[in-house]
Amino acid sequence: MNIAKIEAIPFAIPYRKPLKFASGEVHTAEHVLVRVHTDDGLTGMAEAPPRPYTYGETQESIVAVIDKIFAPQILGLSPLEREAVHARLDRTVGNPTAKAALDMALWDILGQAAGVPVSGLLGGYTDRMRVSHMVGFAPAAHMVAEAERIRDVYGITTFKVKVGRRPYTDDVDACRALREALGPEVELYIDGNRGWTASESARALHEMADLGLTFAEELCPADDVLGRRWLVRQSPVPFIADESATDAAEVTRELLGGSATAISIKTARTGFTASQRVLHQCEGLGVEMVMGNQIDGQIGTLCTVAFGGAHRSTARRAGELSNFLDMTDDLLTEPLSIEDGTLRIREGAGLGFAIDPDKLARYRQDA
């Protein structure tokens, strides 16, 4: 069984409303469907979501690097030769979501070939995960209304609140309004996407000390090295490195340098292979993890829950698995369903999903 063909198909699906946060905003999911075909008829699939303001990738660059650089290097290899595949991909710097999508598509093939779910190959810890929902920038009353709707309709009781606006007190007020409306039983944590300075972040954490926050994520830039370390030393809650820790080396640097005390794992940027390396690294150091979201569609969300549910350490906490609810449509023949605040892992072989050809034809950008 060898890799015979690779497709990188750009598609675009609008969001119901713009998703706004400190490092940017998105109006349309302009993603790339990656399909890897073998010479014995299996097809593995995954989704690459470009985030130019975080990793520098665009939809066009993902398609180009896969078509022109990655595919010629790995055609003819077996999906079992993952180390050889990554050795060739890693000759090219950057391009994390393109590499991750190829990795996950290969795991999809391995699951299909073995007749078992990928989550079982990865570890098989549980069949579902609790869901965390992201609340983006909006007036405080709108943020509260969204969180209440998500709680009432889907049973979700964990919320990641985007912060990083100026003045910082706008976000403090929004978080306080969310806590007052949702009550003490709901879990809240904040994500600044590097929007504040270290001093603004410290003031905000001090003023939210009574809100029972679970985590703080990327409140100020990791590149502000001394300021970030100063902030993390005094943070009353675990401080998550996300976009500042995109591979195992960066995880080591951020943790041992004192710039973070917890890690967000995103399969959209580290696939399954590199995500396991980060997970085992964090387990060895006794560091908490959350499964993050790259504003993924349903394909990417399936990948996240498959990995997160496969491991005891990542299944402990709610995973960020609901951003697809903000999309007007998706490509799957069988859409995802969040029930009682949880999302189940697909039981079929591989990643367990199929693409609706009519929807793909409607949304693809290269036809």
Confidence of residue 291 (pLDDT cuts 50, 70, 90): very high
Q: Is the pLDDT of residue 111 over 90?
A: yes
As a whole number, mean pLDDT of residues 194-213 equals 98
CA atoms of 128 and 139, how far apart (whole Å): 33
As a whole number, mean pLDDT of residues 52-76 equals 96
pTM, two decimal places:
0.97
Which pLDDT value is given to residue 25?
Answer: 80
Q: Is the pLDDT of residue 24 over 80?
A: no
Q: What percent of the chain has pLDDT over 90?
A: 95
As a whole number, mean pLDDT of residues 274-295 equals 96
Which pLDDT value is given to residue 22?
Answer: 73
Which pLDDT value is given to residue 113?
Answer: 98
Which pLDDT value is given to residue 110?
Answer: 98
To which residue do tokens 């496969």 refer? 310
As a whole number, mean pLDDT of residues 214-239 equals 97
CA atoms of 218 and 233, how far apart (whole Å): 14
> Per-residue pLDDT tens for 326-364?
999 999 999 999 999 999 999 999 999 999 999 999 999
Mean pLDDT, the chain, rounded, equals: 96
Which pLDDT value is given to residue 169?
Answer: 97
Angstrom CA distances, 167 to 114, 188, 210, 220, stand at: 54, 21, 20, 14
Which pLDDT value is given to residue 20?
Answer: 79
Which pLDDT value is given to residue 236?
Answer: 96
Which pLDDT value is given to residue 367?
Answer: 74
Backbone angles phi, psi at 28, to 5 degrees: -140, 140
DSSP secondary-structure letter at 323? Answer: G
Q: Is the pLDDT of residue 23 over 90?
A: no
Active site residues: 162, 191, 217, 242, 266, 294
Provide CB contacts within 8 A for 257, sequence distance 6+. Answer: 225, 229
Which pLDDT value is given to residue 19?
Answer: 82
Angstrom CA distances, 194 to 90, 140, 214, 222, 314, stand at: 27, 20, 18, 8, 24
Which pLDDT value is given to residue 141?
Answer: 97
Helical residues (DSSP H) of 56-168, grouped into ranges: 59-65, 71-74, 82-89, 96-114, 118-122, 140-154
**Using CB atoms within 10 A of its CB, is residue 337 exposed (0-12), middle (13-18) or buried (19+)?**
exposed
In 136-186, the DSSP E strands lie at 158-162
